[in-house]
């Protein structure tokens, strides 16, 4: 905490975050991170005495080797040198992709070290949340899984209960593969129904295996689901899980691409919900984790909702006022949506709460 009683926030930023090139038609465009930096600067966040800019460091080769297979790292390096080849169909390769992916994922791990050293209470990165990459391969816009790398870095500090709270609209399928049998990591993923939504994974009955059974929680939502049902599911599930687990570090991925203006998916939440969840997770970090938490941006492919969402989370963490414009989603949650969500919530409880004894 700072002298003002406000939390100390580290904002990860460097021009080097813009060192990528997925092509002119890709949903992730150059200027995305600069736009977020400019927006929070315009809204006074960078003048707050409790907000500091932290320079991201490259992900170390040692941690990279723990996060990905030698074959996959060699593939990234090869694409990086030649500029030829792709990570997958959605994730084009480019020259210097090795450097870029290490700085983008290194930002998250730099944030972890800054929190663990006590310099700051929370970090927030305008990039990161590359949750579709697994040990052996990348994909879905993700090259290096910085969520997994951050967890592995936290384990080196001896932490035993790391919570990954992933509200990106797409399932965190890559991260799930790393820690599926590991009770030292709880992953909660809220996402759109995998039946039609990439990555077509993250079913409710996938609750972890072995000692990790019950520590992998998937909750999915039907198309058009908005704030009312989303809040219902959150209230029914997340506080109970978090209070049971008592995490000693929280990695939070907000659902910027679950916003109704985001056209890569079909949920219809607003920044009211992003604020609600951010406040709840922030309080949980102070209740259980001595404040230790990091925010990885995750998806968000419409600039307006992405910057509103980002500033909303900043506002909660830094205790600095920010109010996005009034938002009017195209739908209200109807009876059919409510029925599906109630049924899904009850399935999650039946499977997970009974396994954990909640």
Q: Which residues contact 159 (CB under 8 A, 6 or more apart)?
A: 184, 248, 249
Phi/psi of residue 87, each to 5°? -75, -50
Q: Which sign does the torsion angle of CA 222, 250, 1, 52 carry? A: negative
Q: Say if residue 2 is exposed, middle or buried (CB neighbours under 10 Å; 0-12, 13-18, 19+).
A: middle
**Residue 180 gets which letter from DSSP?**
T
CB-closest chain residue to Zn ion: 299
Q: How far, in Å, CA of 110 to CA of 291, rounded?
A: 17
Q: Give yes or no for residue 316 binding Zn ion (CB under 5 A).
A: no
Q: Give yes or no for residue 111 binding Zn ion (CB under 5 A).
A: no
Which 59-98 positions form the footprint of Zn ion (CB under 5 A)? none
Nearest CA to 170 among 210, 134, 130?
130
Min CB(4)–Zn ion separation in Å:
12
Interface with Zn ion: number of residues (CB under 5 A): 6
Q: How far, in Å, CA of 22 to CA of 246, rounded?
A: 39
Q: Give yes or no for residue 7 binding Zn ion (CB under 5 A).
A: yes
Q: Give yes or no for residue 10 binding Zn ion (CB under 5 A).
A: no
Q: Which sign does the torsion angle of CA 109, 171, 17, 292 carry? A: negative
Q: Give yes or no for residue 170 binding Zn ion (CB under 5 A).
A: yes
Q: Give yes or no for residue 143 binding Zn ion (CB under 5 A).
A: no
Cβ proximity to Zn ion, 8 vs 80, nearer residue = 8
Cβ proximity to Zn ion, 139 vs 183, nearer residue = 139
Strand partners, 124: 11, 295
**Radius of gyration of the chain from Cα atoms?**
19
Min CB(255)–Zn ion separation in Å:
8
**Segment interacting with Zn ion (CB under 5 A) among 71-79, 121-129, 271-279, 345-353:** 121-129
The alpha carbon of residue 212 and the mean position of all alpha carbons in its chain are separated, in whole angstroms, by 21
Cβ proximity to Zn ion, 222 vs 299, nearer residue = 299
Min CB(132)–Zn ion separation in Å:
8
Q: Give yes or no for residue 201 binding Zn ion (CB under 5 A).
A: no
**Segment interacting with Zn ion (CB under 5 A) among 46-54, 92-100, 116-124, 345-353:** 116-124
**Segment interacting with Zn ion (CB under 5 A) among 6-14, 40-48, 97-105, 242-250:** 6-14
Q: Give yes or no for residue 299 binding Zn ion (CB under 5 A).
A: yes
Q: Give yes or no for residue 168 binding Zn ion (CB under 5 A).
A: yes
Q: Give yes or no for residue 149 binding Zn ion (CB under 5 A).
A: no
Map residues 241-260 to x or -, x wherever contact with Zn ion holds by CB under 5 A: ----------------x---
Cβ proximity to Zn ion, 146 vs 168, nearer residue = 168
The answer to whether 38 and 44 are in contact (CB under 8 A) is: no
Q: Give yes or no for residue 300 binding Zn ion (CB under 5 A).
A: no
Q: Are strands 216-221 and 86-88 parallel, antiparallel or unpaired?
A: unpaired
Cβ proximity to Zn ion, 75 vs 292, nearer residue = 292
Nearest CA to 252 among 232, 279, 219?
279
Q: How far, in Å, CA of 183 to CA of 187, rounded?
A: 10
Task: List residues near Zn ion by CB under 5 A.
Answer: 7, 121, 168, 170, 257, 299
């Amino acid at each position: 905490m700072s002298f003002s009683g406000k939390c100390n926030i580290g904002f990860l930023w460097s021009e080097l975050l813009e060192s990528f090139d997925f092509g002119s038609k890709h949903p992730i465009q150059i200027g995305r991170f600069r736009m977020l930096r400019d927006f929070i600067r315009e809204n006074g966040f960078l003048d707050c005495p409790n907000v500091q800019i932290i320079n991201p460091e490259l992900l170390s080769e040692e941690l990279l080797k723990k996060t990905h297979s030698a074959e996959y790292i060699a593939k990234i390096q090869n694409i990086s040198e030649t500029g030829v080849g792709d990570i997958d169909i959605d994730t084009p390769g480019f020259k210097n992709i090795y450097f870029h992916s290490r700085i983008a994922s290194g930002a998250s791990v730099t944030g972890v070290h800054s929190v663990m050293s006590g310099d700051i209470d929370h970090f927030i990165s305008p990039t990161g949340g590359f949750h579709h990459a697994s040990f052996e391969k990348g994909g879905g816009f993700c090259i290096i899984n910085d969520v997994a790398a951050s967890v592995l870095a936290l384990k080196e500090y001896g932490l035993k209960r790391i919570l990954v709270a992933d509200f990106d609209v797409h399932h965190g399928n890559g991260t799930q593969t790393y820690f599926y049998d590991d009770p030292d990591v709880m992953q909660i993923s809220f996402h759109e129904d995998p039946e039609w939504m990439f990555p077509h994974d993250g079913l409710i009955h996938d609750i972890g295996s072995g000692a990790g059974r019950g520590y992998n929680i998937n909750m999915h939502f039907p198309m058009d689901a908005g704030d009312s049902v989303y809040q219902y599911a959150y209230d029914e599930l997340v506080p109970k899980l978090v209070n049971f687990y008592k995490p000693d570090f929280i990695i939070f991925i907000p659902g910027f691409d679950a916003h109704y203006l985001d056209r890569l998916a079909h949920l219809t939440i607003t920044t009211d919900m992003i604020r609600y969840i951010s406040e709840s997770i922030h309080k949980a970090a102070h209740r259980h984790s001595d404040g230790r938490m990091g925010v990885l941006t995750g998806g968000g492919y419409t600039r307006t909702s992405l910057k509103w969402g980002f500033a909303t989370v900043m506002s909660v963490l830094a205790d600095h006022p920010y109010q996005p414009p009034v938002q009017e989603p195209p739908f209200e949650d109807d009876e059919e949506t409510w029925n599906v969500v109630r049924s899904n919530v009850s399935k999650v409880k039946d499977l997970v709460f009974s396994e954990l004894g909640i």
